[in-house]
Structure 1
């Protein structure tokens, strides 16, 4: 392990501006050839790196057991088949050891509540993949909202964001001959009527943004070729994306809404009418989540005073008349330590449901529109847990909600939104022994004095001697909240073995609403990295763990977080796993969908933002001879969102500098750990072997 005195002397200062970083950043990149993702030279490099690292990790005597346990949990047949309500039925996409690609299947609501429902297969993706010699990964289904009998099924090649879409008939359980078919593209498609679609996709030259997403929306009519599609809306080439969505409520109102994403966080909204498109008067920092009683439900992420109306605070849920004839109605305004995740808002026939978090502890709430305003009540579900709106139905008041925490296995509750009642109908069996384990919430003090909450799950009799092997994770970006979640593999492979598990709710996320996110945007981002380091230091101040026993991991933006922590504070950590990461922040805008994230990270065209990343970008700030712990870097070839190239280049530079690292690249999986359960279990097992070797198998 590292000698701490040497590490402390050599550690990089977070506020330093290393001359070497600027020199490295402004010289020719010797590893730019790795950006040619599928070139023979690049793939040969991947094959060699995989062989070297797998020879270490798979040869470890613990690997076989870890893989078996991870796969058993992933493929367990007694896990909850999460419901999707379609046409009064319950649909589900199911994967297990036999159905690797998955079965799309359906049953009745009454049958679904049985311990062993009788399912009817709609589509066998394994059979389809074999017949078409493809590696089809389920990318979802969008069903025509009036009758809900025909759906657009999206299929991805190996897990990419790009997909194909085909019309599927639920009654005949087959693709519709001569039906709607949209070839491979990054695309968003929504039903306008049973015989027409509204689609944003690659229509040919000049229709995709610099981020690689569509900005032209067209109407596709049944029986007509794509070439005959008529334009409905056009954004701009420097937008991030343009997304059409259709919303239908329980009273039969329907609204086609187009979101023009000017940046990742700012958008203009228009409604599609027979006369054309008209703007919807909402702030640019807003998200549309549903439709009820003819009102669109938005979450507004900036303070807003509507014309002639009262001020509305950032983070509020608001009901908006799309025609602009009535004033916006506030559904719920969160307090300073509260938040609502727009992804966890559901609309039933007559109510709005939402997960509301107070100091990162969730509860489910119901909102009802009345003549005197919106009334709210708390649904009778467990508090202090993570609440997810699994499925809701515009044609009824039935919704399904999942509840989980670090030690509470996921349970599924059926909600009657009209009565305001809920009953638990399914429970996932425990995947690890939780006896003697506890979860606590602590506060760390960041460098600027901000209080940063974190959860730690550990043995109740954990010795306060700084000797507990501890895994710590966070995300810190894009207003994404890390809420309490049950992880069978973390419990089985880590907690059962005496380790502790920490989730840090650092700035950049959405745990305390838009302000918590915006505190770390662009050149203010150092506070995110300071928050994470402060939690690590707090763990040590409490004598829970020590640098030799603390491992950290994170993916995507969280992978960037791990890279920065490795560069800035290597003395704090004994192991670092960097997953599907951004790491070359001086070129990120030119790689995959990187241009879409300028609203989060800034642009190299801005001198101040470039100066920040010159001193912060992990790829540019690696130092030869620095005392970094052996680092695990993993990614996937098929990731067309962040892409594998940043991980590749970082590993190549570590090799050039003689720094210790392991590298693994799965050849499928998209922006994740694998394309199927077996591939995901493989990646988990490799990572856990790495952490065991670094943190548990040492004195």
Structure 2
């Protein structure tokens, strides 16, 4: 037995040595390691010294910070009972305040805010850099909340119970130590909790696999286990409450893969599994109609329901195993369902058609769905931002590239709306125009993209042009008003392009599925097609062309400069994935294998290794001087990706720019000042390289 153990240890040692020989930068994965942080500090110092000396840096910083701190910003509503809740940051509240106003006063246009939690004061008191991460209230009066606080902005949070009337945390109330997970009230004295309960309770990707019912006055370790998933599950198993008027259902979702899972309902101390496809998305419940969207074809009751369709099922019958199905809407090939919400009596559907939003109100009467269109503005992004459980009042936001965000107050029952508040124009948009084009990708697929440029732009190939893209996880990027892009890029003579490449959700589930795993090269080819179309139109040339992306988009642009270094002169890779051989071993990486594939399976590594930026770096290539940005406290995409890429490129003799914020999590920044600094560094780099 001893010999066998020694043999195993020897073999394990060989594995570690081999891995170290293959990757001599593994030490940079030690997030808070002394040597790693010395590397980070040295890179930060060089980058800040060089880019902050650029002539536009201070102007961009000052204007960006003024925009972020402006008191003219819209205070977006979260309606809970008789109050509107809002989180707000400005120059006097660097980390922000969580506050509320009566719904009546908010509706009048003159909210009277009362501060519930001052995050700056709490941070000073606790000597912790707290970042507010949201709250969940106790229905129906919302006088108690479970408040989530992150240390430095990561995804892992501490949960504390808060009394909204007394404006204080409840002594000996519900409290959950730092972990990724979820917690919701079932009633005043019961929570449904998914968290790190100890050894063997988390998935390989660092998320909870157990769901428990926790009674007030008892220890969390003694909470009743009602579901236990597998350590190999892609994401987490979580519990939540689905409300249909006064009726509440306790649901559990177990994530099997990145895009599939099992839904179960906990009723009368027993679990009922819902007989619906594992890749559906549940959108809500209204008048006993469970609303779901299909991500693949569903053959049921001798009928095929197509990918992308929005259906409803009689929920009580579904619990008995019966399927009474109604089609709500079947989007066409140029449309997709962006968002679905429910008020007390209505369903709101936000539809993207050629990447611009349209809003509809759906009613379920006499066993049928009917709809009417909301007279919202055209050619922009619509977002439903505030729903009232107790009425049919709701709020939605509209914006596009040159139209400032406008918040509308609306009534779903009467189908009326009015402007509540508009953001001031932080830059003169009258000088610019927006055009939508379609480029032909390598496989002849038409790829839509938006271009924002000066009306008098010359088509001579000299325009500094920035392409922004994401291309993953079925996330759609519709037109948006970004005042900081206006003052930092457009007003400095730049052209801005938003590329709606495959992998996203702009044209529905198939648009996404055509860009995952072995089809990932389609995503990259789409980006190149848009870039080349801009060159062919004589808008720009590679000398003046840059590309930017974050997270999955950071991977995208990392691939872009390694596959097509001839195409770009500036690359901004933010909080990126780059080492695609080890991504599934770092933090939440294992939860994304449904998107990228499993590099530990030889057949899947075969296609991943063809684009993994970290593995495709070569000496003697004329790469652009890339800017990498990340955060030490990013506990979603490991900062080691960017660190190792920079170290490897520097050792090969390539100049890079690198900035790692010490906090901020995956968002990159925790305060307006941090965000302004990061933006000023980024745009100073782009202007330096592309003008």
Alignment TM class, shorter chain as reference: over 0.9
CA–CA distance in 1 between the matches of 2:101 and 2:247? 28
* Cα drift, residue 105 of structure 1: 0.7
Aligned to 2:516: 521
- 2:410·2:418 contact (CA, 8 Å) conserved in 1? yes
Aligned to 2:354: 359
Q: Does residue 561 in structure 1 map to residue 556 in structure 2?
A: yes
Q: Secondary structure at the match of 1:101?
A: strand
* Cα drift, residue 378 of structure 1: 0.9
* Cα drift, residue 298 of structure 1: 2.0
Q: Does residue 455 in structure 1 map to residue 450 in structure 2?
A: yes
Q: Secondary structure at the match of 1:207?
A: coil
- 2:597·2:608 contact (CA, 8 Å) conserved in 1? no
After superposition, where does 1:567-606 map in structure 2 within 5 Å?
567-606=562-601
Q: Does residue 296 in structure 1 map to residue 290 in structure 2?
A: yes
Q: Secondary structure at the match of 1:290?
A: strand
2:460 aligns with one of 451, 465, 484: 465
2:304 aligns with one of 284, 307, 311: 311
Aligned to 2:96: 102
Aligned to 1:224: 218
What CA deviation, in whole Å up to 9, does each residue of 1:19-75 have, x standing for no partner?
A: xxxxx9995201001011111111111111111111101122321111101101111
- 2:544·2:690 contact (CA, 8 Å) conserved in 1? yes
Q: Does residue 33 in structure 1 map to residue 27 in structure 2?
A: yes
What CA deviation, in whole Å up to 9, does each residue of 1:65-106 have, x standing for no partner?
A: 111011011111100011000112111001001101111111
- 2:109·2:420 contact (CA, 8 Å) conserved in 1? no
2:326 aligns with one of 321, 326, 329: 329
CA–CA distance in 1 between the matches of 2:168 and 2:286? 32
CA–CA distance in 2 between the matches of 1:137 and 1:282? 38
Q: Secondary structure at the match of 1:630?
A: coil
CA–CA distance in 2 between the matches of 1:290 and 1:148? 20
Q: Secondary structure at the match of 1:410?
A: strand
* Cα drift, residue 414 of structure 1: 1.1
Aligned to 2:650: 655
Any gaps of 5 or more consecutive residues in structure 1?
Answer: 1-23
What CA deviation, in whole Å up to 9, does each residue of 1:368-403 have, x standing for no partner?
A: 111141111111111221011101122110111101
* Cα drift, residue 490 of structure 1: 0.4
CA–CA distance in 1 between the matches of 2:82 and 2:294? 32
* Cα drift, residue 638 of structure 1: 0.2
Aligned to 1:378: 373
Aligned to 2:259: 265
Aligned to 2:191: 197
CA–CA distance in 2 between the matches of 1:492 and 1:25? 47
* Cα drift, residue 309 of structure 1: 6.0
Aligned to 2:482: 487
Q: Secondary structure at the match of 1:485?
A: coil
CA–CA distance in 2 between the matches of 1:230 and 1:206? 16
1:92 aligns with one of 86, 107, 111: 86
Any gaps of 5 or more consecutive residues in structure 2?
Answer: 1-17
What CA deviation, in whole Å up to 9, does each residue of 1:566-616 have, x standing for no partner?
A: 001111111001100000001111111100000000002322220112221
Q: Secondary structure at the match of 1:515?
A: helix
After superposition, where does 1:153-552 map in structure 2 within 5 Å?
153-240=147-234, 241-250=236-245, 252-306=246-300, 308=301, 310-320=303-313, 321=315, 322-323=318-319, 324-341=321-338, 344-552=339-547
CA–CA distance in 2 between the matches of 1:509 and 1:351? 28
CA–CA distance in 2 between the matches of 1:498 and 1:59? 20
CA–CA distance in 2 between the matches of 1:115 and 1:297? 34
Aligned to 2:134: 140
254-263 or 328-337: bigger deviation: 328-337
2:618 aligns with one of 619, 623, 626: 623
What CA deviation, in whole Å up to 9, does each residue of 1:313-361 have, x standing for no partner?
A: 22222223151445132222211111012xx221100111121011111
Q: Does residue 612 in structure 1 map to residue 578 in structure 2?
A: no
CA–CA distance in 2 between the matches of 1:528 and 1:623? 22
1:665 aligns with one of 660, 668, 676: 660
* Cα drift, residue 274 of structure 1: 1.3
Aligned to 2:10: none
Q: Secondary structure at the match of 2:271?
A: strand
CA–CA distance in 1 between the matches of 2:613 and 2:686? 21
Aligned to 2:38: 44
CA–CA distance in 1 between the matches of 2:138 and 2:252? 17
Aligned to 1:130: 124
TM-score, normalised by the number of residues in structure 1? 0.94
- 2:20·2:26 contact (CA, 8 Å) conserved in 1? no
* Cα drift, residue 275 of structure 1: 3.1
What CA deviation, in whole Å up to 9, does each residue of 1:406-446 have, x standing for no partner?
A: 11111001120111121111100011111121000000000
Q: Which runs of 4+ in 1 moved over 6 A?
A: none
What CA deviation, in whole Å up to 9, does each residue of 1:219-248 have, x standing for no partner?
A: 111111112101011111100211211121
Length, aligned pairs only: 669
The alpha-carbon distance between structure 1 residues 452 and 27, as it changes in their structure 2 partners (threshold 3 A), is farther
- 1:25·1:586 contact (CA, 8 Å) conserved in 2? no
The alpha-carbon distance between structure 1 residues 149 and 329, as it changes in their structure 2 partners (threshold 3 A), is farther
* Cα drift, residue 468 of structure 1: 0.9
* Cα drift, residue 168 of structure 1: 1.1
